[in-house]
Amino acid sequence: MIETTAAVASSLQVLKQRLGAQAPDIAVLLGTGWGPLAASVQAAPDAITVPYSELPAFPRLGVGGHAGTLTVGSLQQGPRTVRVAVLAGRKHAYETGDASGMQGVIQSLAAWGVRLLVQTNAAGSLEAAMPPGAVMLINDHINLAQRSPLVGLAGDDRFVDMSAAYDPALREQALALAAETGTTLHQGVYAWLLGPQFETPAEIRMLKTLGANAVGMSTVPETILARHAGLRVLGLSLMTNMAAGLSEETLSHAHTMDMARAAADQAVELLCTVLTGIEL
């Protein structure tokens, strides 16, 4: 379902009234395991939080670990400070079968003046060198679900160039910032499958053949929406498990959340380094 212009206009009005006419340059969409960033921003003296329920174009969420709040505030690491908008939670396509669940959010952020969407998620690793706890900078994706949040839009602008979906210049900066702190930041291709079931070992073997390095159930629709809206995109995946058939783990959402919590502090510290150091 495509969000109406009226819902986006109403959300924009609330954003300006509650959070200020001047939007932060950066919005961060938090996936499973990345929640501590929201707590850090909420603790800032200038922080303001608005529930999704007060923003007409924003979705109602139905997945554990996704709070459904938008917080704007200052994030400080060392001498660097940046004002960011933190989105705690996303609407997944597997909840309804509709890939456009975050369309109203992205359109509202773009209308407000946000320039960069930083996406985070939890993912399964296809690489032995990238075990649980590792963080991967997404350099490309495979839309294996072959669903698009742009279906139903009119006009030639629906035909969006995705050849550099994850901004190459910003990726170089992120890698350099990680290197400055001695933090390992992997790079790779993220494969999106619809879910909510986890993949089979045969599907993972197929994904490896196709060139994927990590697999998950989110992020790709929001990247498409962001590029359609003219936003730049960075993506970070936190490895919470080895993909099906690559270990003896039994996969479950509870297991994913447990592993994400165990690795969250280090991942969020890296994310803070990137957010406070990147130059648009």
pLDDT, tens digit, 9 for 90 and up, residues 13-26 = 999 999 999 999 99
From CA 78, how far away is CA 86, in angstroms rounded?
20
pLDDT at residue 64 is higher than 60: no
Mean pLDDT for 23-43 is 93
Asked if 41 contacts 86 with a C-beta cutoff of 8 angstroms, the reply is yes
**DSSP string of 11-37?**
HHHHHHHHH-SS--SEEEEE-TT-THH
Tens-digit pLDDT profile for residues 194-230: 999 999 999 999 999 999 999 999 999 999 999 999 9
Q: Measured between alpha carbons, how far is residue 55 from residues 16, 109, 173, 238 in Å?
A: 11, 11, 33, 29
Cut 0.85: pTM above it: yes
From CA 37, how far away is CA 70, in angstroms rounded?
12
Specify the CATH number for 5-277; select among 3.40.35.10, 3.20.20.70, 1.10.10.10, 3.40.50.1580. Answer: 3.40.50.1580
DSSP 3-state percent helix, strand, coil across the chain (nearest 5): 35, 25, 40
Minimum mean pLDDT among 21-30, 151-160, 242-251: which range?
242-251
Minimum mean pLDDT among 69-83, 89-103, 239-253: which range?
239-253
Phi, psi of 221 (to 5 degrees): -60, -40
- Cβ neighbours around 55 below 10 Å, total: 23
Residue with tokens 């320039």: 115
Give 116's strand partners. 26, 232
- Name the pLDDT band for 1 (thresholds 50, 70, 90): very low
| pLDDT for res 131 | 93
